[in-house]
Homo-oligomer: A and B are copies of this chain.
Amino acid sequence: MSRLDSFIARMQAQRDCLNWLAPAIRALPGPLLEVGLGNGRTYDHLRELFPGREIHVFERKVAAHPDCIPPDDRLFLGEARETLARAARQLGPTAALIHTDLGTGDTAANRAMADWLAPALAQLAAPGGYVLANQSLDVAAWQRLPEPAGVPRDRYFLYRAAPSS
């Protein structure tokens, strides 16, 4: 499998997971969080899936397509570790969906990142909210969900935060 093959498979898995979660997310109140804007393609997909929905974007340095840059008041600009903490104070645990696509090809660095990323996101997910992550995130209050049909295991990681009791 070439890097082109595996990249296509990863992009398809991301889209399939988002499309599959969409009906459940539409049924929940609260904003959506896109952690890592990149070129803005996934942000654009979220805008299409959820028209008019409040989407907050976290990005160190914006380098997206000009059509895919969020409005200033929806952009948390800077290091994710700091901006996620700021968002937690500002938004609280309200997000219906958190999609995170941070990290690099460096597996060890990604694992180390998960140590601070998982608790940071745990403060932002609404009760019953969904998390789609490109890496495993260990949060006691989250339940891992099975991938939708056709999506290979462990390519993306789906979680649901515990509903309010």
Contact = CB atoms under 8 A, between A and B. Distances in A.
Interface residues of A, number: 23
A4 interface: yes
Interface in A103-159: 105
B45 A3 contact: yes
A158 B35 CA distance: 38
B41 A7 contact: yes
Interface string A1-33: 011110110011011000000000000000000
Interface string A93-109: 00000000000010000
15 contacts: A2-B44, A2-B45, A2-B49, A3-B41, A3-B44, A3-B67, A3-B68, A4-B15, A4-B41, A4-B42, A4-B44, A5-B15, A5-B45, A7-B41, A8-B15
Counting from the closest, the 7 A-B pairs by CB-CB distance are A4-B45, A2-B45, A3-B44, A4-B41, A3-B41, A2-B48, A2-B44
